[in-house]
Chains A and B, each alone.
Chain A
């Protein structure tokens, strides 16, 4: 069965970086884009961007341009999201999600369990 398993919770100081991993299993890793979505405490969902595991190509939302880097290691079916220059506003649960779709629609059909990143001095 399809599974996305993320790395554990992190506590970081302001100005530091964090790298979250998302290990895929149960399907062909290179066949589906991986997206990253975050959720601040008590808030809604915010899309950050995607990575194409096949080519390594990425697309980041404007708000995170220059601060986020999404990479992958196809040998271990794992995607990564690194966020730099952290502030307290980056405290959130970070989710990876698999995109599945056709020419007419796309959907996030499987999600990781989430990784809590806490930024505190």
Chain B
């Protein structure tokens, strides 16, 4: 199983606000920044949020991230049908000589 824990699924209706949680430990989220990736069906992951709460250029401000202690969250406001995708959190983990770790992914369904 994944080092970071995410809910396997989330859902919402168009226009709604949804949040996806990501739980880790002191060796990863507790001491390093968190990134979020969006993976549309059949495509490569795409950087969505970096350094906890920064959006790359081109990512709508409907997407936001936050971190507190050993947990992080991704919020999507004004949900749109094109947001239906898998979302992964990621952080560097200082244990075992260091490694990047990911959450198991959350499948977001827009109802």
Contacts and interface: CB of A to CB of B under 8 A. Distances in A.
Contacts of B102: 44-47
- Could you say which interface size class chain B belongs to? 20 to 34
A interface secondary structure, majority: strand
Interface in B17-47: 33, 35, 37, 43-47
A46 B56 CA distance: 23
Nearest to B50: A107
Contacts of B99: 47, 61-62
25 contacts: A44-B103, A45-B88, A45-B90, A45-B102, A45-B105, A47-B99, A47-B100, A47-B102, A59-B98, A62-B96, A95-B44, A97-B45, A104-B51, A105-B33, A105-B51, A107-B35, A107-B47, A107-B50, A108-B35, A108-B37, A108-B45, A109-B56, A111-B44, A111-B46, A114-B44
